[in-house]
Each structure stands twice: as C-alpha cells, then as structure tokens.
Structure 1
Amino acid sequence: MSAASFDSATFRRVLGHYPTGVCVVTAVEPDGAPIGMVVGSFTSVSLDPPLVAFFPAKSSSSWPRIERLGKFCVNILASDQLPLCRQIAAPGPDKFRDIAHRVSANGSPILDDVVAWIDCTLDAVHDAGDHHIAIGRVAALEVERADRPLLFFQGKYGEFSLLD
C-alpha cells in the first residue's frame, strides 16, 4: 500500500464539504447512569434485516461503555438542539443534567424533542483505522417531530432548507 499524497488536514477539509446529520447515541449503565456520545457518522445499512451503523473513534471514552452494554439508541437531533449537542459532547459527568428523556423498551434514553430515534442492539463491531464501525440491529424506531435536522458542514453547525 502506498502512502497518501495528502495530509490529514487536507482530508478533513475536503470531506468537510459533505454535510452530515448530528446524532446522540445513548445507553444506560447498570447503575442507571445514562451515557451519551455525539456522532456525525450515522447511516442506514440494510432494510432486511434492519441495520444501521455509526463510527465511534477509538479514542472515545463513551464507546467502550456502550459497546459492553450491547444496546443503544440513536437520537437524531433537530436544528434547535445545538445546546443539547454541545452539552453531551462536553467531557464530564454532567452530560445529562437537565436533559429530559424517557427510556426505550430496550432500556436506552430517548431524548425529548428529537427528530427521530432508532433503538438498537449491537450486531457487530469492525475495525476501521482510527475508528470502529458499530452496526446496530434495529429493534424499534419512530419519528418524533417533522422538523429540520441539525447538520454539521465545513466545521460548523446549521440546518437543512428545502428548495422546492
């Protein structure tokens, strides 16, 4: 395999031209403490069986805890939920302070007022460079409100606007 002819800054800059949605992956520790991590790398994988995936960094402190539990909920954030996104993304023990949520049938937090949620069991984890590919088997899902999702584009947050 030959070395790339570009550096990581160029890689980031170019791929930053592709917008991504912003999600919070949640789970609950055995002691009842909620876990959350912000991801911008969520995608559908398969309709039959219903599978989704996200790509946690190997440096994540939240991912090993979620992986051990074997279940999680993907919460798709709305464009007005940037403060919630920043709170969950910040390090520290108070990620869920004043964040309203309910518990899914699978036992994971569904955050209030999200665009949609997808409750999953962990189906597989694959190695992918400095990340993992986490594949979830969908157990339940729902649209909570027909609203614009929060997007990440060129290092900034924004929202989607229909052209039609």
Structure 2
Amino acid sequence: MIDAAELRSALGRFATGVTIITTRSTSGEAVGVTASSFNAVSLDPPLILWSLGRNAFSHPIFEAASHFAVHVLGDDQRDLSNRFARASSAKFEGLATREGLGGVPLLGNCAAVFECSTEHRYAGGDHLILVGRVLRLDQGPAERPPLLFHQGRYAALAGETSTV
C-alpha cells in the first residue's frame, strides 16, 4: 500500500504551473480556486483538464458549472495565487474582472486565459476531474516567466529571479 504522505512528497518533485480557475454559481456568486492540476488533453478538439478535491468548499459549484475559465499565472502573481488558495468569501473583493463566456468572471493581466465549457466530469478518487472544451483563449507576452510550484512552495525557472 502506498503511504499518502510519501506519495504527496514524490508528486511534489514534479514542478507545475499555477492557475486560478473561476466560475459562477447557479445563484450568480463568483467562485475561484488556485489549482496546479492543469493539463492539455487534446488539440482537436481543444480540450484541457484540471481537478478539484471533493472536500473543497467550491466542489459542488464547479461540479454543476456549465462553464469555467483557467487563468495561467505569471511569476509576479504570487499574491493573487495565495488569495484564491485560501478559504474566503471575499476572493474577488476589490479585483477588476470582466464577464466571460457563460458569465464566468475573468481576471486581468494573466499569462493566458482559457474560457471553457464543461465537456466531461469524472470521479478521480478524492478529486473531481473536469474536462473543458476551450471556446476562447487569450495570451499575454510569450517572454513572461510563469509562476511555478515545486515541493510545496513557489519556484522560479533557472536564471530567473524568484518571487519567493
């Protein structure tokens, strides 16, 4: 049997980018969460996936959502990542957003934004796996360094200055 703490430690050796996923609840509330579990699935059709813990407060909202947006963060957006990683009902307070497809709140100044319709939902153990069809995307400058996460903390590309 695999020890959960050992598995988490080994998985932490894989560096990932950091994203914020947003949606809107059926009652109209803006909802967002920081996630590093984001992957490309297919170019044709354009599909991506991400996963959310079943114990997350926002789980039922994302499970029911018809649309969501994935915001890929730049290395200068650590504070924004931290803001959406915490449990809070005021994550969007004071933030300028615009409305995306399906009424989803979109954050500005991100490295990339993928606006998606929910294509599939899969049970993945203690997580829900959401597959989205990319309907629209936006990209920032290609030379912008990404916000990375590695071994439980923020990291930087070699030769880049870290925001840690």
Name the amino acid aligned to 1:142: D
Supply the distance in 2 between the matched residues of 1:133 and 1:105 (Cα, whole angstroms).
21
Counterpart of 2:84 in 1: which secondary structure? helix
Name the amino acid aligned to 1:13: S
Give the corresponding residue for 1:151: 148
Name the amino acid aligned to 1:152: F
| Partners of 2:118 and 2:131 within 8 A in 1 | yes
Q: How high is the sequence identity, in percent, across the aligned residues?
A: 35
Paired residues for 1:11-160 under 5 Å: 11-146=7-142, 147-160=144-157
- Name the TM-score, length of structure 2 as normaliser: 0.90
| Partners of 1:84 and 1:99 within 8 A in 2 | no
| Partners of 2:67 and 2:101 within 8 A in 1 | no
2:5 aligned with 1:9:
yes
Supply the distance in 2 between the matched residues of 1:36 and 1:125 (Cα, whole angstroms).
18
**Which aligned segments of 4 or more residues in structure 1 are displaced greater than 4 angstroms?**
none
CA drift of 1:106 comes to: 3.4
Counterpart of 1:9 in 2: which secondary structure? helix
- Name the TM-score, length of structure 1 as normaliser: 0.90
Q: Aligned in 2, Cα 1:31/1:51: closer, same or farther, shift over 3 Å?
A: same
Name the amino acid aligned to 1:97: E
Counterpart of 2:116 in 1: which secondary structure? strand
CA drift of 1:33 comes to: 2.5
| Partners of 1:106 and 1:119 within 8 A in 2 | no
Q: Aligned in 2, Cα 1:107/1:48: closer, same or farther, shift over 3 Å?
A: same
Supply the distance in 2 between the matched residues of 1:145 and 1:108 (Cα, whole angstroms).
23
Matched length: 159
Name the amino acid aligned to 1:104: G
CA drift of 1:104 comes to: 1.5
Q: Structure 1, unaligned stretches of length 5 or more?
A: none
